[in-house]
Structure 1
Amino acid sequence: MTVRIGVIGTGAIGRDHARRIEKVLQGGRIVALSDVNAASAEAVRADIAPDARVFASGEELIAAPEVDAVLVTSWGATHEQYVLAALKAGKPCFCEKPLATTAEGAKRIVDAEVALGSRLVQVGFMRRYDAGYVALKKVVDSEIGAPLMVHAAHRNPTVPEQYVTPMAIHDTLIHEIDVLRWLLNDEYVSAQVVFPRVSSHSHSQLRDPQIILLETKKGVRIDVEVFVNCRYGYDIQCQVVGEEGLANLPEPMSIVMRKDARQQNAILTDWKDRFIASYDVELQDFLKAAANGTASGPSSWDGYVAAISSDACVKAQETGEIVPISLPERPALYN
């Protein structure tokens, strides 16, 4: 079966996902496009999906009978309304993170999906599909004993002026918040944020770097360095220390050279290059499930938990205190 896809939001990520579905992956076809900037949707139609129909609104696209499933890649503040509309229409929906911009909004999506009684939403936490993280999880589950500590880092070479301190949580740490829960099969119980000396490459509205300290229900202690002006490249690190050994996230493949009396290898500078293959795998997973009228992968519940956890981390930024993280009971639909 070929799943007929409608894409809401044709900016950089929406355009790239449309390209994947049309040019790279199997089992999907772009039949509908919508964007607040109609010219953007028209450009994607001209360049990638010439047979697609352009709709004036996301709601009209979702309601169209020729659309089997929906990709929500629009501005984050619009995600909730489109995901809820897709659920009301009974159509599988892939939603880029965040699922909603508030925990309350994410909870409304969870409630709607539970009332429907069927999983239809996949959230775009692509790191669960990265080959390195998949390999690391296999080792953590079977080789190094019970995890005791995690040391992680999320570094960007630079960020624009509009990037401010809370975005280090909502836009950057959000990936670690999800992938470390999955990696450890555990839940967070508290968060604390500490600030080292501020980098001279930061600006007045951004305290950078920062260190987020998380504690899990099983007692694992996690420290994540977020440093978004590190200058040298895009660098994702993760080390899990277990009772019997430790395991590191593998580095992206690169050639080590000996030249000019130096040994060196290239470091990526663009996050899209670091995780490009994982986007292919996650969307192929979505297409496979959508062909059966359902969804797999990171769920609405995972999006909701990420929102609760990130809100706690922002509160910890603001107060300097250890902030408890309390989760409601997980609905049976997500067990």
Structure 2
Amino acid sequence: MPLLPVAELTDRARDIFRVVVDSYVANGSPVGSKTIAQLSGLSLSPASIRGVMQQLEEAGLIASPHTSAGRLPTDRGLRLFVDGMMQALEPSAQERAALEIGLGGSRVGGGGPVEEALAATTAALSGLSACAGLVMVPKRETKLRSIGFVPLSADQAMAVLVSEDGSVENRVIALPGGMTSSALVEAGNYMSATLGGLTLAEARLRVDRELADGRAALDGAARTLVERGLAVWSEDGARRPVLIVRGQGRLIDAAAAADLERVRDLLDDLDGKQEIAALLDSARAGDATRIFIGAENEMFALSGSSVIARPFRGAGGRVVGVVGVIGPTRLNYARVVPMVDFTAATLARLMG
């Protein structure tokens, strides 16, 4: 069924539908005709309101969750509201200041790893929106400063990668047979001296060329370790985007406590970071904010969740990531959408 245009709703239907949505956003509970008569300020009897609600229900915009007389907006109804009726509420001066302060201490390129700025973004946005905050950089183009190997046992070592932004990551790798401590040092020295300032993809290409041309002065074990170490880092980086989630606890409020199964489903969705990352990645195209509501996305069919996401740009105007929030479908779209927009603009300044 195609979405009913807002223009086809009568003024009376729009007013009543707005009350249903506002009540749902405020408390998550179904609202009945008597309550609407009290809240709307319309000179209509409950019977007249019930007639309009029946029309809205037949259009698929509202529904009854059980046998009570109360109604809730459907995902379809929320989409109509967001696209055609919502009046955005710009962040207040206090909210903008809180967000700026939250991000200001972790300026990208100003002495802290990228992850610190991303984590600060998610935490600040979560606190202001009362949702879980999401920030994703789909592919980390890590530039290497140094790589070293620390022996753990006869057949294992820890590869320690230090990036130019100051971040440090460790991976345990298997050692080739006959590996000595001096070969570990040799491999680390070669990688740090040869690959500094390169991304992992660039480093692999250079090593492949130097090994193929015989220009890498490495013995057999050190050569194997260099190839194995770069393979581990490159495969891991390509497989996992940088995705940070903060504020999951904010998803459990008084209304959610009555629907713990839905909350568990939502938290399970957040654990599946690959799927969330794929959803955010779909928001990278263009400049507009994307809103995914409930069962419109198969991932949220059980949890009844919504995601608001917007891409942000870095140096040269290139899209470098996506920032957003995830919460129940009853989140306050009019307030949260502009907040996500402001966060994307703030993070773009930090990335620039």
TM-score range, shorter chain: under 0.3
Compare the two structures and name the one with the higher strand fraction: 1
Larger Rg: 2
The structure with higher relative contact order (CA 8 Å, sep 6+) is 1
Which TM-score applies when normalising by structure 1? 0.26
Provide the TM-score with structure 2 as the length reference. Answer: 0.25
Q: Which has the higher helix share?
A: 2
